[in-house]
């Protein structure tokens, strides 16, 4: 088994863990934070997939993913705080 | 086989959500439905050729059908536009409940 | 050379994934929201950064370096700023700190030490 | 000439962009809106002149090879539709200007984009491009629907947006299936494909199903009855003439070109459209406000129009196209005349209006003429439309459909008389009373009222009546001088029965 | 000249210093997560800073957040203060010292003169 | 001449309202004069038409495309009716000029003119479509005339209209059937070549439809009720309606179609039975009435019963009788109605019980009423006597079994005696007796001469024509010839010798006298219900039945909940899928290599995310999980070689989440609870649809080679467009119209978000009550956002640079205007999210202007294409730069337009949705007015 595959499995498993937190909470803050993890996981998955498939162009995708994570994190924080800035 | 299954799963979830009473659920259902149709469009181009239609970096012989990709790009934007608007409608009242009080 | 970089890249990536997994595992293990947030921060900061670094080592070029550095910057900003934003939001929303919390300076500063979310 | 076709899309979009930022002066904004509307009408008239003898003009956008470029095509059918839609857009714009609605900041740009979408959808010869233009006409409609800003508008808007999006998605799925099987979405290349391949037929079936939902065919008509009662009269009039009608146009075009009029499936259409006629008209009779009666009527009339394509004989198609044009004009006239009353007196409820025949003779004339036309009475266009359509049904041996059409026309008259008696003849329920909004009866679900602060006996201003009057006059003109429209419809039908001219124009260039 | 050199060395050394901080703190947290039970003594601690600019405050706050086991919860600009949640804050002063060490290193990079020697204490940095 | 007739009438009709502006009610004079002139014109052609047997014809094209023309034809039958229509019209209009109150009467004269035109057209039409047109025009005119008096007349007018239109539709159906069968619309041709009657089923169907039309139009049982109902109309209208127009149209139609149906048993039986039944019933009702106008109205029903029945007999003699009686009826009926009007006007009442002894005060009225009534009663030497005798004679010839004739004759005699009785009732109690007893006036006076002129002429005409009845021989003969039997000659006379019909006349008079004696007081029948139900009641029941059915049908869709509206199309899609998949089609072979192992990971990811998204009740969780599905979609795109799509998908995902969050914060945390049963139904529908979609994807896709157009793109894009990112070249070079449309959609989304929020107003509130004191350091937004603001300030330039890079390289690598715009938009999203307050976030750039400029740039780039011959055709040029030459294309300009638009829309969405209350300054005028309404409507909503 390719070591990158192991890494992929690890990241995907982490995302599943986070998904569990999203569903169970208990607080909205927990859900928000866990959601963030899922989006961070995207970065990892895309990067690892790029390594696995030998697709150099995923670098752009990774950049987009990180941006995704950043914006999402801030939005979720706003949501948790009920819109409070 | 895999792509059809994925499309089927997406559509199932989408339809279930679309039939709910909360506007946000309906919108999320439509987001899923949009994904499924986009995948269907790509599937329509054939999934046996999966090369990138970027002719500087990849040979044209392996490139996937670029036309559905262009279609999907257009469709994504349109769905996104309407999604924004639907969220506006969901926000434009106290609750996003679409059920009438009887 | 390239093989060495590649191997190093894979090592980095796997290490990153490991850190990521450990941090996320904290979501299940840790007692309160703030503690879980530390786990997440570890995953998003160190974990993801290692993976990205691995990616760069896999495809080393100036253009990629530029992008990956930008991505790393964004990712670290996310980990730090996002961590801060989430922590504050959680605090504002009244996430309870675990009873083990020793002291809540934030609540004291507000003059309502007994009521703040961090109060024991 | 051919290359100028896309201007019908480009100019309104440019105008919309300009009107979005142009804050004033008001006359300039109004003039811009009306000028572009009039320009499109003039262009449409020119196209009709050019195509009336059977010519088809096509233009490959960007001058790429056929099958690669998106073709813009105009034949008698599309030219006729462009002209009629342009007329409606212009007239409704005049109405909106007269009622002051056009001065809402984003009203004019939205109407212009809507018109661009309509022209694009009518002219394009590409299935995917059709999807895009349908969206271009739908999305501004969402805004126009809720721009009046009532809760009812938002609720109606939710139904409208969700159903439209579902339908568009279904349409797109159909396009995907067609591309998946046939490898092209260009109409010329798809000519007759559905008759040759059941797979293409199935894919196109999904497309047609989506179009039928957009056309509000029973049993997928409910959305129309809910959403078209919400917006302002001008907007409803505009929608009634454009949206469902573009879908109907597409059904005609696609069935003719891609299915080549395959007769084995027509019975389904005859059945469904007969039910549509009946359900729509019964629903109309049951309603209690002008707008909801008219909206249910639309459904019934859609059944009539689509019956033409379900017959798919030369006479049937001609009748259907004639009916289509007639209905667009008359329906808009009805919405505008009752809308004028609604705008001025603040309600469309039958039992809260009355006695307008004496007070508003011009309005009464505009309404009555259009109402009689809708019911298919001579000497209005509706009579010719009904006559030719039902004759075509008889000729084709569709006895039941013809019988239904006859009976439905009587119930149509019944519902029109309900409005007439309620609004124009019956005693004014508020005679001598204060003309403010009635207390209590105005629930959250009732259409918005605009009477607050209105003078006691306002009276409809002539400029507000004029649009409806013009359209009724057009209907009378198409009745007395029906030959013009019959010839055009016949030419349009000829290209649907024998699509070779159309297909050649699209493909060989 | 020596200050210039010292600053140069500080800049060069800084990533390694901070990297070490991140790795060790992560290891500690990771160990805590992976082993049963918990050795944590969490607390919200007020940390007055010597930073002046927004950039400096931001940098310190982010460094705190990026180190596993500590996260900045709230910020005040005048006087510059952070409220930090620490997982392993046995006593407040220990956590403050930890932050101030990082602040020293950072100010050593950003300022010609490095960080002021006197580390502020909560409540004595001046009223709001 | 025929065209002249029609044209003059049309001109009169159109001119009437204008003349009325000057003359008021006196307009009746000029109009009547024209009608009289036209009557004279027709009479002048009498010799030509009646004696010489010429047929006048005229034609104008109308709808040549379907072979329908404005064909007019005047034969003997048409001549007779034409004279009646025009002559009676002239009389009624003369009468109107005095009867109507002074002042503007434009509507009345217009409608009367149109009515005359319609009737004239009807009798002259030689095209069945044209016939129907005029037939319906009479209906419309009578509707408007009946409703003219005011609100109370509305309902009767509607009832009349609907019933007669129903009959009209029967006629229309017959017309269409005949047209389809014979291939022509020429009435004379259809009637001349009656080969179509050889198909018994068809003939019976058409005949039944025509009978239906006749019965409704002529107010025959059981449709008779509309005529008395229409009494609410003014007296001149009634006079014309009963004497010459409308009801006579039915008789005309029956006579016109006699040649075709004369031998059809259904035709004979139906007309005779319904006609005679109506004759008796109408007479009984007439006898019962106290109101003279009602009495006369029922008398019309009865008399038309005679006419319809006799046309049904169909023999030459019968048709002669019909022709003469039509004329006689016109004269006495118009006179009687006008007399009622005079009584009402002069004596203030029109009830038998209210009037008495008027003969002294109103001698002329008395005389003319008596003459008309006696004619109606069939007393010699009036014309009514002649026609009645002809009727009796004809009924004895009734076709069918041997007893038919005697029975019909007997019934006719009974009806005639009843006629005598009610005619007597009209005259005797009113004009004789102990002097005036009138409630309305103290001393009733005779009406002015001009008022009396018309009825006098009409009733005197009955006397004159009775005395000189042989004069009518050519008329009746010609009419009967044209109605059925060519070469029929009439022999009309007051004295035919001792014939059975004379006996019947005597019998009817004696019986009538007896009945008159018994019923003169009116007490015998008054107030009795002769029928269990009234026609109007039946009508109203039917009407409300249809209305209720309609309400039920409306209820099916009467909901603003999208669920039901959405379920219907979904179910239809499933049904379509079932139909397709059960049809056993040949799907072709699907290649083996289409699935890759890693695909399965994505399938698993999808399934988990979708299942969780469906099940969770937390809004936030659902949003996050749908986001995961979106990410999964992006990965699919990546796996399928669509890098641009993956990038776009991810960026769209970001912005969707941001916007969703802006909305979610206003809403409750959890979705509504859904009952288990409902969940099960939804799940069933969902699974069915999902299965259909999956099967559809499996069956319809991936089974063919690369499409030819795809081959074309892949092999030609670089040379033709200078771009190597084929997807991008499709977007901006090959199919930019799609992209322009997409761009328009996006920008409009920006506009409508603004418009909707500004007119509806977000009623948002915090959904979370924060438990932290505002004194806490964590509360202060300005201080606490310093970190993110600082970071964003540093990051933003990098993002903008990256986005410009993506824009510029789009043609040959992943990127392009849309992706670049999304990246820029994400940057602005950051600016928005990190700002310390809403007011600060409002980025000072005018976002609507940004959108508009983007669209303008894109369209402008498209218009540049006209330089090379086509809208949106990309132009290429080399731009010299220090290091060589850079390839520049208008496609890039187009892409830049997209970039601007996307940025503008994202700015709009973020700022508009982010605000607590939208910026009210935005719209002036109409919006300002709306505000008051918003407040009230939102205030009234629970
Ligand atoms: Na009313
Ligand atoms: Na940390």
Cα–Cα distances in angstroms (integers) from residue F667 to residues B95, B99, F618, in the given order: 6, 15, 11
Q: Is E74 close to F789, i.e. CB distance below 8 A?
A: no
Beta carbons of F563 and B21 less than 8 Å apart = yes
User: CA of A22 to nearest chain C CA: how many angstroms apart?
Assistant: 10
Greater confidence, F643 or F530?
F643
The closest CB to that of B40, out of D158, D168, D176, belongs to: D176
Question: Of the given ranges (D149-163, E78-92, F465-479), which has the lowest mean pLDDT?
Answer: D149-163
| Percentage, residues of chain F above pLDDT 90 | 55
In this structure, are F648 and F742 located in the same domain?
A: no
Alpha-carbon torsion F834, F838, F839, F844, what sign? positive
Contact F557, D279 (CB under 8 A): no
Q: How many CA atoms lie within 13 A of D146 on its CB side?
A: 34
Residue D103 contacts F, CB cutoff 8 Å: yes
Asked if C19 and E27 count as a contact pair (C-beta separation under 8 A), the reply is no
- The mean pLDDT value for D443-450 works out to 34
Report pLDDT for B9: 96
Q: By the 8 A CB rule, do F142 and F115 touch?
A: yes
Contact criterion met (CB < 8 Å) for B91 and F814: no
E75 touches chain F (CB under 8 A): yes
**Phi, psi (deg, nearest 5) at residue B34:** -60, -45
In the reported structure, the alpha carbon of residue C120 is separated from the centroid of ligand 2 by a whole-number distance in angstroms of 22
Q: How confident is the model at residue F827 (pLDDT cuts 50, 70, 90)?
A: confident
Q: Is residue A36 within 8 Å of A42, Cβ to Cβ?
A: no
pLDDT band at D445, cuts 50/70/90? very low
**Alpha helix locations (H) across F835-846?**
838-841
In the stretch 78-107 of chain E, residues with CB closer than 8 A to chain F read 81, 83
Chain-centre distance for alpha carbon B19: 17
Nearest to C88 among E33, E73, E87 (CB): E73
pLDDT, position D441? 33
C-alpha span between F99 and F85 (Å, rounded): 20
For B53-78, what is the mean pLDDT?
Answer: 88
What is the pTM assigned to this prediction?
0.91
Which positions of chain A have pLDDT values less than 70? 1
Q: Is any Cβ of chain E less than 8 angstroms from the Cβ of F784?
A: yes
Q: Which helix (H) or strand (E) holds F886?
A: strand F884-889
Q: Which residues of A touch C81 (CB under 8 A)?
A: 70, 73-74
E126: left (phi over 0), alpha (psi -120 to 50) or beta: left
Task: Tell which residue, D390, D188, D195, D189, has the closest CA to residue D308.
Answer: D390
Label residue F710 by pLDDT band (50, 70, 90).
Answer: very high
Q: Which chains touch C (3 or more CB pairs under 8 A)?
A: A, E, F
Write phi, then psi, for F888 (nearest 5 degrees).
-120, 140
Instruction: Tell me if chain D has a CB within 8 Å of the CB of F448.
Output: no
Question: Could you say which DSSP state residue A83 is in?
Answer: T
Report if residue E121 sits inside a domain.
no
Which has the minimum average pLDDT: D304-318, D488-502, F793-807? F793-807
Please give the residue of chain D at the shortest CA–CA distance from B97: D155
Name the closest residue on chain F to residue E57, using Cα atoms.
Answer: F787
What is the average pLDDT score of chain F? Answer: 87
**Is F790 close to E55, i.e. CB distance below 8 A?**
yes
Q: Is the pLDDT of residue D13 over 80?
A: yes
The residue that leads in pLDDT, F765 or C6, is C6
Write out the two tokens for D105: 């900041």
- Nearest chain C CA: its distance from A35 CA (Å): 10
* Residue ranges in F810-925 assigned as alpha helix (H): 817-834, 838-841, 847-864, 890-914
CB contact under 8 A, B53 and F727: yes
> From residue D490, how far is each of D76, D247, D313, F311 by CA, in Å?
9, 20, 11, 41
Q: Please report the pLDDT score of residue B82 as a whole number.
A: 94
Question: How many percent of chain D have pLDDT more than 70?
Answer: 93
Cα–ligand 1 centroid distance for D226 (angstroms): 23
Higher confidence at residue C48 or residue D358?
Answer: C48
Q: Please judge whether E74 and C88 are an interchain contact, meaning their C-beta atoms are less than 8 angstroms apart.
A: yes
CB atoms within 10 A of CB B41: 28
DSSP conformation letters of F12-62: HHHHHHHHHHHHGGGGHHHHHHHHHHHHHHHHHTHIIIIIS---EEEEEEE
Q: Do B33 and D169 touch (CB under 8 A)?
A: yes
Is the pLDDT confidence value at F922 over 60? no
> Could you give the number of structural domains in chain E?
1
Which of F600, F607, F609, F621 is the best residue to mutate to test the A interface, defined by the most A CB atoms within 10 Å of its own CB? F621
Query: Per the domain annotation, does E32 fall within a domain?
Result: yes
Nearest to F873 among D63, D162, D409 (CB): D63
Distance in Å, alpha carbon of F779 to nearest chain C alpha carbon: 7
Spell out the residues 6+ positions from residue D415 whose beta carbon is closer than 8 angstroms to its own. Answer: D281, D284, D285, D287, D293, D296, D297
Band (B95; pLDDT cuts 50, 70, 90): low
* A46 and chain F in contact, CB less than 8 A: yes
Distance D419 CA to ligand 1 centre (A): 8
How is chain C split into domains, by residue range?
A: 2-118
B–F interface: beta-carbon pairs under 8 A: 335
Mean pLDDT lowest among A32-41, F312-321, F760-769 = F760-769
Which one of F657, F673, F689 terminates a domain? Answer: F673
ipTM computed for the complex: 0.90
What would the pLDDT profile of F14-38 be if each residue is shown by its tens digit? Answer: 999 999 999 888 999 999 999 999 9
Picking from E10, E108, E21, E98, the residue whose alpha carbon sits closest to that of residue E56 is E108
CA D279 to ligand 1 center in whole angstroms: 25
**Residue F773 in tokens:** 């004191």
Tell whether F563 lies on the interface with D, counting CB pairs under 8 A: no
Q: Which of residues 68-97 of C touch A (CB under 8 A)?
A: 68, 70-72, 74-75, 77-78, 81-82, 85-86, 88-90, 92-93, 95-96
Is D200 an interface residue toward F (CB < 8 Å)? no
Give the distance from CA A71 to its chain's centroid.
Answer: 12
Give me the helix-helix angle, D151-182 and B23-44, nearest 10°. Answer: 20
Residue extents of the structural domains in chain B: 2-101
Cβ–Cβ < 8 Å for F108, F96: yes
**Positive/negative CA dihedral, D405, D408, D412, D413:** positive
Boundary of a domain, candidates F473, F508, F527: F527
Rounded CA-CA distance F836/D454 in Å is: 45
Lowest mean pLDDT among D61-75, D115-129, F881-895: F881-895
Here the tokens at position F942 are 């629970």
Same domain membership, residue F736 and residue F669? no
DSSP per-residue codes, E4-60: HHHHHHHHHHHHHHHHHHHHHHHHHHHHHHHSSS---B-EEEEEE----SHHHHHHH
Contact D47, D498 (CB under 8 A): no
- Residue F33 pLDDT: 95
- The pLDDT assigned to D12 comes to 97
**Which residue in F125, F144, F137 sits closest to F6, CA to CA?**
F125
H helix or E strand, kind and range, residue D60: strand D57-60
Nearest C-alpha of chain C: how many angstroms from A24? 11
Q: Is F885 helix (H, G, I), strand (E, B) or coil?
A: strand
Query: What does the DSSP 8-state code read for residue F74?
Result: E
For residue F51, the enclosing domain spans 2-527
- pLDDT surpassing 70 at residue D38: yes
Does the structure show a pLDDT above 50 at C73?
Answer: yes
Residue F594: per-residue pLDDT: 65
Token pair recorded at residue D181? 């099987």
Residue E115 lies in a domain: no
Pair B89, D146: CB distance under 8 Å:
yes
Q: Which tokens sit at F609?
A: 């995310």
Segment F848-862, tens digit of pLDDT: 899 999 999 999 999
Which SS3 state, helix, strand or coil, does residue F198 take? helix
CB spacing of F786 vs E83 below 8 angstroms: no
Q: Which residues of E touch F784 (CB under 8 A)?
A: 74-75
Neighbours of chain E (3+ CB pairs under 8 A): C, F
Residue F551: other Cβ atoms inside 10 A: 16
pLDDT of residue F771: 67
What is the number of the ligand closest to the CA of C37? 2
**E65 CA → ligand 2 middle, Å:** 4
Identify from F661, F767, F771, F776 which residue to disrupt to test chain C contact, counting C C-beta atoms within 10 A and taking the largest count.
F776
Cβ contact (<8 Å) for C105 and E33?
Answer: no
* Cβ within 8 Å, pair F786-E75: yes
E83 belongs to a structural domain = yes
The minimal CB distance from D158 to the residues B34, B45, B98 is found for: B98
Looking at the predicted structure, is the pLDDT value of residue D238 above 50? yes
């Amino acid at each position: 088994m390719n070591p990158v595959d192991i890494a992929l499995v690890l990241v995907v498993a982490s995302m599943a863990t986070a998904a569990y937190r999203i569903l169970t909470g208990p607080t909205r803050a927990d859900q928000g934070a866990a959601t963030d993890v899922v989006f961070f996981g995207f970065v990892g998955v895309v990067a690892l997939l790029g390594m696995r498939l030998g697709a150099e162009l995923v670098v752009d995708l990774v950049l987009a993913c990180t941006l995704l994570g950043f914006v999402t994190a801030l939005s979720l924080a706003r949501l948790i705080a009920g819109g409070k800035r | 086989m895999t792509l059809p299954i994925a499309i089927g799963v997406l559509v199932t979830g989408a339809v279930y959500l679309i039939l709910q009473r909360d506007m946000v659920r309906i919108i999320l259902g439509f987001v899923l439905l949009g994904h499924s149709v986009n995948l269907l469009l790509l599937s329509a181009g054939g999934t046996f050729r999966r090369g990138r239609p970027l002719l500087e970096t990849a040979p044209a012989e392996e490139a996937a059908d670029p036309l559905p990709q262009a279609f999907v790009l257009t469709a994504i934007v349109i769905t996104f536009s309407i999604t924004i608007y639907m969220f506006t409608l969901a926000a434009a009242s106290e609750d996003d409940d679409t059920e009438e009080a009887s | 050379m390239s093989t060495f970089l590649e191997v190093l890249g894979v090592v980095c990536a796997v290490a990153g994934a490991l850190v990521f997994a450990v941090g996320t595992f904290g979501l299940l293990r840790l007692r309160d929201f703030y503690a879980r947030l530390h786990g997440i921060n570890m995953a998003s900061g160190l974990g993801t950064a290692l993976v990205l670094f691995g990616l760069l080592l896999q495809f080393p070029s100036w253009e990629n370096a530029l992008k990956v550095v930008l991505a790393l910057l964004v990712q670290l900003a996310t980990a730090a700023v996002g961590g801060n934003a989430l922590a504050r939001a959680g605090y504002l929303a009244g996430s309870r700190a675990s009873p083990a919390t020793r002291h809540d300076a934030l609540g004291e500063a507000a003059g309502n030490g007994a009521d703040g979310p961090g109060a024991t | 000439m051919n290359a100028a076709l896309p201007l019908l899309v480009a100019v309104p979009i440019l105008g919309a962009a300009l009107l979005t930022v142009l804050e004033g002066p008001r006359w300039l904004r109004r003039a811009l809106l009306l000028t572009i509307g009039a320009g499109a009408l003039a262009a449409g008239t020119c196209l009709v002149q050019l195509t009336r003898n059977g010519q088809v003009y096509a233009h490959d956008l960007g001058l790429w090879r056929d099958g690669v470029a998106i073709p813009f095509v105009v034949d008698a059918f599309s030219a006729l539709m462009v002209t009629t839609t342009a007329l409606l857009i212009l007239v409704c714009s005049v109405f909106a200007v007269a009622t002051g609605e056009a001065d809402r900041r984003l009203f004019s740009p939205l109407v212009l984009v809507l018109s661009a979408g309509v022209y694009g959808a009518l002219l394009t010869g590409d299935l995917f491009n059709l999807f895009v233009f349908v969206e271009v006409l739908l999305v501004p409609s969402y805004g126009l629907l809720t721009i009046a800003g009532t809760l009812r508008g938002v609720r109606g808007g939710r139904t409208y947006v969700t159903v439209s999006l579902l339908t568009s998605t279904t349409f797109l799925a159909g396009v995907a299936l067609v591309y998946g099987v046939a490898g092209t979405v260009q109409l010329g290349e798809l000519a007759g494909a559905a008759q040759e391949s059941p797979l293409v037929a199935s894919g196109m079936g999904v497309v047609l199903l989506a179009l039928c939902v957009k056309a509000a065919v029973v049993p997928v008509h409910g959305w129309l009855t809910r959403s078209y009662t919400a917006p302002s009269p001008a907007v409803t009039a505009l929608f009634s003439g454009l949206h469902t009608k573009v879908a109907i146009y597409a059904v005609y075009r696609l069935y003719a070109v891609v299915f080549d009029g395959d007769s084995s499936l027509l019975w389904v259409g005859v059945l469904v459209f007969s039910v549509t006629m009946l359900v729509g008209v019964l629903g109309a009779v049951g309603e209690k406000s002008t707008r909801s009666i008219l909206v249910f009527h639309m459904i019934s009339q859609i059944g009539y129009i689509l019956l033409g394509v379900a017959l798919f004989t030369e006479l049937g198609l001609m009748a259907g196209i004639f009916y289509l044009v007639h209905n667009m004009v008359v329906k808009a006239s009805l919405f505008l005349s009752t809308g004028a009353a609604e705008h001025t007196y603040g309600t469309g409820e039958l039992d809260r209006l009355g006695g307008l025949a004496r007070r508003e003779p011009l309005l009464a004339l505009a309404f009555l003429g259009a109402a009689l036309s809708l019911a298919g009475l001579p000497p209005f266009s509706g009579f010719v439309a009904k006559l030719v359509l039902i004759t075509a049904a008889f000729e084709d041996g569709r006895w039941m459909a013809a019988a239904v059409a006859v009976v439905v026309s009587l119930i149509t008259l019944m519902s029109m008389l309900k409005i007439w008696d309620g609004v124009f003849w019956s005693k004014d329920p508020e005679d001598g009373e204060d003309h403010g909004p009635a207390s209590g009866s105005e629930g959250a679900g009732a259409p918005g009222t605009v009477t607050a602060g209105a003078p006691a006996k306002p009276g409809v201003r002539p400029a507000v009546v004029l649009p409806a009057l013009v359209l009724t006059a057009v209907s009378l003109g198409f009745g007395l001088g029906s030959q013009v429209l019959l010839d055009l419809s016949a030419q349009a039908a000829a290209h649907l029965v024998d699509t070779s001219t159309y297909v050649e124009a699209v493909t060989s260039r | 000249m020596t200050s210039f050199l010292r600053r140069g060395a500080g800049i060069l050394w800084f990533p390694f210093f901070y990297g070490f901080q991140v790795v060790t703190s992560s290891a500690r947290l990771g160990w805590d997560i992976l082993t049963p039970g918990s050795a944590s003594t969490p607390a919200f601690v007020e940390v007055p800073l010597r930073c002046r600019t927004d950039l400096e405050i931001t940098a310190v706050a982010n460094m705190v957040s990026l180190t596993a086991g500590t996260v900045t919860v709230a910020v005040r600009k005048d006087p510059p203060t952070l409220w930090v949640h620490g997982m392993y804050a046995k006593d407040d002063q220990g956590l403050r010292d930890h932050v101030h060490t990082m602040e020293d290193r950072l100010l050593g990079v950003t300022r010609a003169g490095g960080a002021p020697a006197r580390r502020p204490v909560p409540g004595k940095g001046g009223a709001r | 001449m025929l065209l002249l007739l029609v044209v003059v009438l049309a001109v009169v009709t159109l001119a009437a309202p204008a003349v009325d502006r000057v003359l008021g009610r006196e307009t009746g004079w000029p109009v009547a004069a024209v009608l009289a002139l036209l009557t004279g014109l027709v009479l002048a052609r009498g010799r030509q038409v009646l004696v010489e047997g010429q047929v006048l014809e005229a034609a104008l094209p109308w709808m040549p495309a379907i072979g329908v023309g404005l064909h007019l034809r005047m034969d003997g039958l048409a001549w007779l009716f034409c004279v009646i229509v025009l002559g009676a019209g002239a009389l009624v209009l003369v009468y109107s000029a005095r009867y109507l109150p002074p002042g503007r009467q434009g509507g009345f004269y217009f409608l009367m003119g149109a009515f005359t035109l319609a009737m004239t057209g009807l009798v002259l039409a030689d095209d069945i479509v044209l016939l129907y047109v005029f037939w319906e025009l009479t209906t419309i005119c009578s509707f408007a005339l009946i409703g003219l008096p005011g609100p109370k007349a509305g309902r009767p007018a509607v009832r009349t209209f609907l019933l007669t239109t129903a009959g009209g539709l029967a006629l229309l159906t017959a017309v269409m059937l005949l047209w389809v069968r014979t291939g022509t619309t020429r009435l004379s041709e259809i009637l001349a070549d009656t080969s179509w009657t050889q198909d018994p089923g068809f003939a019976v169907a058409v005949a039944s439809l025509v009978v239906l039309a006749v019965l409704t139009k002529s107010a025959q049982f059981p449709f008779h009720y509309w005529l008395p109902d229409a009494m609410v109309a003014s007296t001149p209208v009634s006079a014309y309606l009963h004497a010459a127009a409308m009801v006579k149209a039915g008789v005309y139609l029956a006579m016109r179609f006699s040649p075709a149906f004369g031998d059809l048993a259904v035709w004979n039986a139906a007309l005779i039975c319904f006609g005679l039944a109506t004759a008796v019933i109408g007479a009984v009702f007439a006898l019962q009435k106290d109101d003279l106008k009602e009495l006369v109205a029922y008398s019309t029903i009865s008399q038309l019963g005679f006419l319809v029945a006799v046309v049904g007999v169909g023999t030459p003699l019968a048709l002669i009788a019909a022709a003469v009686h039509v004329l006689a009826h016109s004269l006495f009926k118009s006179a009687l109605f006008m007399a009622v009007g005079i009584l009402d006007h002069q004596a203030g009442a029109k009830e038998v019980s209210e009037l008495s002894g008027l003969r002294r005060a109103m001698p002329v009225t008395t005389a003319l009423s008596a003459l008309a009534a006696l004619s109606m009663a069939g007393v010699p030497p009036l014309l009514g006597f002649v026609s009645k005798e002809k009727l009796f004679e004809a009924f004895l010839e009734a076709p069918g079994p041997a007893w038919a004739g005697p029975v019909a004759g007997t019934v006719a005699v009974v009806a005639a005696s009843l006629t005598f009785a009610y005619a007597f009732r009209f005259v005797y109690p009113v004009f004789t007796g102990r002097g005036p007893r009138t409630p309305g006036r103290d001393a009733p006076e005779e009406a002015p001469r001009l008022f009396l002129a018309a009825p006098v002429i009409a009733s005197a005409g009955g006397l004159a024509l009775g005395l000189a009845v042989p004069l009518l021989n050519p008329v009746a003969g010609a009419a009967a010839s044209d109605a059925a039997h060519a070469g029929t000659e009439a022999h009309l006379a007051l004295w035919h010798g001792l014939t059975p019909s004379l006996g019947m006349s005597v019998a009817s008079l004696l019986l009538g006298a007896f009945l008159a004696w018994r019923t003169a007081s009116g007490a015998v029948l008054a107030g009795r219900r002769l029928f269990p139900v009234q026609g109007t009641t039946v009508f109203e029941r039917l009407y409300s039945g249809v209305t209720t059915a309609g309400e039920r049908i409306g209820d099916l869709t009467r909901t603003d909940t999208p669920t039901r509206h959405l379920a219907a199309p979904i179910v239809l899609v499933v049904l379509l899928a079932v139909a397709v998949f059960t049809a056993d089609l040949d799907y072709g072979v699907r290649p083996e290599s289409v699935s890759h192992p890693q695909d399965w990971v994505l399938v698993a990811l999808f399934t988990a995310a979708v299942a969780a998204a469906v099940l969770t009740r937390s809004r936030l969780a659902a949003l996050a999980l749908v986001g995961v599905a979106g990410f999964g979609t992006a990965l699919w795109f990546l796996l399928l070689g669509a890098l641009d799509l993956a990038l776009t998908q991810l960026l769209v995902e970001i912005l969707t989440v941001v916007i969703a969050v802006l909305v979610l914060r206003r809403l409750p945390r959890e979705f509504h609870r859904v009952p288990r049963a409902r969940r099960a139904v939804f799940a069933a529908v969902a699974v069915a649809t999902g299965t259909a979609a999956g099967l559809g994807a499996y069956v319809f896709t991936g089974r063919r080679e690369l499409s030819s157009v795809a081959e074309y793109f892949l092999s030609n894009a670089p040379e033709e467009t200078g771009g190597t990112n084929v997807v991008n070249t499709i977007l901006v070079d090959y199919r930019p119209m799609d992209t322009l449309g997409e761009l328009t959609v996006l920008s409009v989304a920006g506009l409508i978000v603004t418009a909707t929020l500004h007119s509806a107003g977000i009623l948002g509130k915090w959904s979370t009550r924060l438990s932290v004191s505002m004194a806490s350091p964590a509360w202060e937004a300005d201080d606490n956002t310093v970190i993110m603001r600082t970071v964003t300030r540093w990051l933003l330039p990098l993002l903008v640079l990256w986005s410009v890079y993506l824009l510029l390289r789009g043609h040959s690598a992943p990127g392009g205007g849309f992706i670049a715009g999304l990246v820029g938009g994400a940057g602005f999203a950051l600016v928005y999210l990190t700002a310390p307050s809403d007011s600060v976030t409002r980025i000072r750039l005018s976002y609507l202007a940004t959108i508009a400029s983007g669209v303008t740039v894109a369209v402008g780039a498209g218009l540049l294409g006209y330089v090379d011959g086509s809208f949106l055709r990309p132009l290429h040029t080399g731009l010299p730069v220090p290091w060589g030459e850079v390839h520049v294309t208008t496609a890039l300009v187009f892409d830049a337009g997209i970039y601007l638009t996307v940025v503008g829309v994202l700015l709009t969405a973020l700022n508009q949705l982010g605000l607590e209350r939208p910026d009210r300054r935005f719209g002036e005028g109409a919006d300002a007015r709306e505000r008051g309404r918003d407040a009230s409507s939102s205030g009234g909503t629970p």
